Structure 1
Amino acid sequence: MAKKNEETKNDPDHDKEDGNNNNQNEQRPHDQNETTDDEDHQDSPENQNDSDDDVDFESVIQGEEELITPYVEMNRKKKKALLEFRCRVEDSILGNYLLGKPNQYLSRTEILKQKEILREITLWGVPLLPSKGDEGTDIVLLKFLRARDFKVHEAFQMLRRTLEWRKVYKTDGILEEELCPDVGKVLCLNSRDREGRPLCYSVYGAFRDREVYKRAFGSEEKCDDFLRWRIQCMEKGIKELEFKNGGVDSTLQISDFKNSPWPLMKELRSVSKKAMVLFQENYPELIHKIIVINAPLWYYVVHMLRSRFLTHNSKRKFVFTRATKVTQTLLKYIAAESLPIQYGGLNRENDDEFSPLDEASELKIKGNSTAYIEFPVSEAGFTMVWDLSVVGWDVSYKEEFIPDDEGSYKILLQNQKRMGDNVRNSFYISEPGKVLITIDNGTFKKKRVLYRFKARPCTVPMYIFLKKQ
Structure 2
Amino acid sequence: MSKYTLQHEPEPQSNGVPAGGKLAKREAALIKFKDKIADVHKASHDDYVLHKWLKARAYDVDKAADMYRTSMAYRQKMGVDRLTAEYQPPEVLKKYLTGGFCGHDKEGSPVRVELYGHLDMKGLMYSAKKVDLEKTKLLQCENTLKDWQEESKKRGKRVDGLTVIFDMEGVSSKMLWRPGLQMYLHLVKVLEDNYPEMMKRMFVVNAPRIFPLLYKLARPLISEDMKNKIHVLGGHFKDTLLQYIDAEELPVYLGGVKTDPDGNPRCATMICPGGEVPREYFLQDKDNEDQLEVATVPRGDKLCLPYEVTKPGSVLRWEFKTEDFDIGFGVQLLREGVKETVRATERVNSHIVPEDGSVTCHKTGTYEVVFDNAFSWARGKRVQYMVEVIGPVDEGMHSEIKHMLTENTDLAWESNANSKDESTTL
TM-score by length of 2: 0.52
Superimposed CA distance per residue, residues 409-465 of structure 1 (whole angstroms, 9 cap, x where no aligned partner): xxxxxxxxxxxxxxxxxxxxxxxxxxxxxxxxxxxxxxxxxxxxxxxxxxxxxxxxx
Partners of 1:81 and 1:246 in 2: how far apart? 26
User: Counterpart of 1:306 in structure 2: which amino acid?
Assistant: A
Q: In structure 2, do the counterparts of structure 1 residues 69 and 168 end up closer, same or farther at CA, with 3 Å as the change threshold?
A: farther
Structure 2 counterpart of 1:297: 209
d(CA) in 2 for partners of 1:189, 1:197: 11
Partner of 2:54: 145
Residue pairs, 1:207-222, within 5 angstroms = 207=119, 215-219=123-127, 221-222=128-129
Q: Which residue of 2 aligns with 1:178?
A: 88
* 1:178 alignment partner, SS class: coil
Higher helix fraction: Structure 1 or Structure 2?
1
Q: Which has the higher contact order (CA 8 A, sep 6+)?
A: 2
Query: How far did residue 194 of structure 1 move?
Result: 0.7
C-alpha spacing 1:85/1:345, structure 2 compared with 1 (3 Å): same
Note closer, same or farther for the CA distance 1:174–1:266 as it changes in structure 2 (3 Å cut): farther
Q: Does the 8 Å CA contact 1:216/1:223 hold for their aligned counterparts? A: no
Determine helix, strand or coil for the equivalent of 1:190: strand
1:196 Cα shift?
A: 0.2
Deviation at 1:297, TM superposition (A): 2.2
Query: Would you say 1:236 and 2:136 are equivalent positions?
Result: no
Correspondence for 2:219 among 307, 311, 331: 307
Report the Cα distance in structure 2 between the residues aligned to 1:339 and 1:214, rounded to whole angstroms: 29
1:193 and 2:105 aligned: yes
Aligned-residue Cα RMSD (Å) equals: 3.3
1:340: how far off? 0.7
Letter in 1 for 2:135: R
**Deviation of the 1:303 alpha carbon:** 1.4
Unaligned runs of at least 5 residues, structure 1: 1-22, 27-63, 99-117, 129-136, 353-469
Letter in 1 for 2:53: F
2:198, 2:171 → 1: CA distance? 26
**Aligned residue among 208, 219, 229 for 1:317:** 229
Q: Deviations over 1:360-381 (max 9, x none)?
A: xxxxxxxxxxxxxxxxxxxxxx
1:37-69: CA deviations, max 9, x gaps? xxxxxxxxxxxxxxxxxxxxxxxxxxx962544
Change in Cα spacing, 1:290 to 1:225, as seen in structure 2 (3 Å) is same
Tell whether 2:245 aligns with 1:334: yes
**Is the 1:180–1:216 Cα contact (8 Å) retained in structure 2?**
no
Inter-partner Cα distance in structure 1 for 2:131 and 2:32? 38
Q: Which structure has the greater CA radius of gyration?
A: 1
Contact 2:122 2:180 in 1 (8 A): no
CA distance in 2, matches of 1:281, 1:259: 29
Letter in 2 for 1:218: Y
Question: C-alpha separation between the residues in 1 aligned to 2:238 and 2:29?
Answer: 41
Is residue 84 of structure 2 the alignment partner of residue 84 of structure 1?
Answer: no
CA distance in 2 between counterparts of 1:227 and 1:290 reads 21
Change (3 A) 1:65 1:293: closer
Deviation at 1:177, TM superposition (A): 1.6
Report whether the alignment pairs 1:346 with 2:260.
no
Give the conservation status (yes or no) of the 8 Å contact 2:171–2:208.
Answer: no
Residue equivalent to 1:162: 71
Point out where structure 2 has 5 or more consecutive residues left out of the alignment.
Answer: 1-8, 264-426
Go from structure 1 to structure 2 and tell me whether the alpha carbon gap of 1:181 and 1:332 turns closer, same or farther (over 3 Å shift).
Answer: farther
User: Contact 1:293/1:326 (CA < 8 Å) preserved in 2?
Assistant: yes
Q: How many residues align?
A: 250
Within a 5 Å distance, the mapping from 1:411-450 to structure 2 comes to none
TM-score by length of 1: 0.48
> Alpha carbons of 1:80 and 1:299: their partners in 2 closer, same or farther (altered >3 Å)?
same
- Tell me the distance in 2 between the aligned counterparts of 1:73 and 1:222: 49
Distance in 1 (CA, whole Å) between partners of 2:211 and 2:113 is 17
Aligned with 1:337: secondary structure?
helix
CA distance in 1, matches of 2:142, 2:57: 22
For the Cα contact (< 8 Å) 2:109–2:163, is it kept in 1?
A: yes
